[in-house]
Amino acid sequence: ELLKFALSQDGIWVTLGCPPHKATYFYDAHERSLEEIASSTARVVALGPCGLDHTIDTLDWIQSFVFEAQVRVAAKLNIPLVVECREAEDDVIAILQKHLPNTQKIHLHGFTGDMVLANRWLSHYPNVYFGLSPAIGDVSSSRSVKEMVASIPLNRILLESGASQTVPE
């Protein structure tokens, strides 16, 4: 119902996806549904949030299966991905590299990494965007956070209201 409503409204665009904490609700048929819906309208601008979160109880193999299904759809439709990645960088990058060209547009939702990790992402995917919490501008932010933000090209930073709880350490 929410999707139908959003698609019926002018000026609203959507992303579709199954985040890691909901991976147990994803079935094989959902991959086809995502593809059908995303290919039926230009109002679906990305797939996601999707990804891996090794800090939660959902089994890693289930998360990987669900993430990989969504990556395949994004690759087939050539649309951006909104990626959640919590303590799973090696696994996420490996799955992305298996299915996507390095020109893929990726939005790293709630990025909490350091300068080294930001540069790693940029080296693998130059079209990556880093979703950061507005709290990064807080005067109490550490020097490493300020260095990380300064190392990211300005045109690759997205401020996210939905990332308010994900502040880099």
Is 78 or 149 the better-scoring residue by pLDDT? 78
pLDDT digits (tens, 9 = 90+) for 16-52: 999 999 999 999 889 999 999 999 999 999 999 999 9
Query: What pLDDT shows up at residue 36?
Result: 95
State yes or no: pLDDT of 8 exceeds 60.
yes
Which residue, among 57, 55, 70, has the nearest Cα to 19 in the 3D structure? Answer: 70
Q: What is the pLDDT of residue 164?
A: 46
Judge whether 40 and 66 are in contact, CB under 8 Å.
no
In the chain, the percentage of residues whose pLDDT exceeds 70 is: 92
* Every domain of the chain and the residues it spans: 1-92, 110-160
150 or 80: which carries more pLDDT confidence?
A: 80
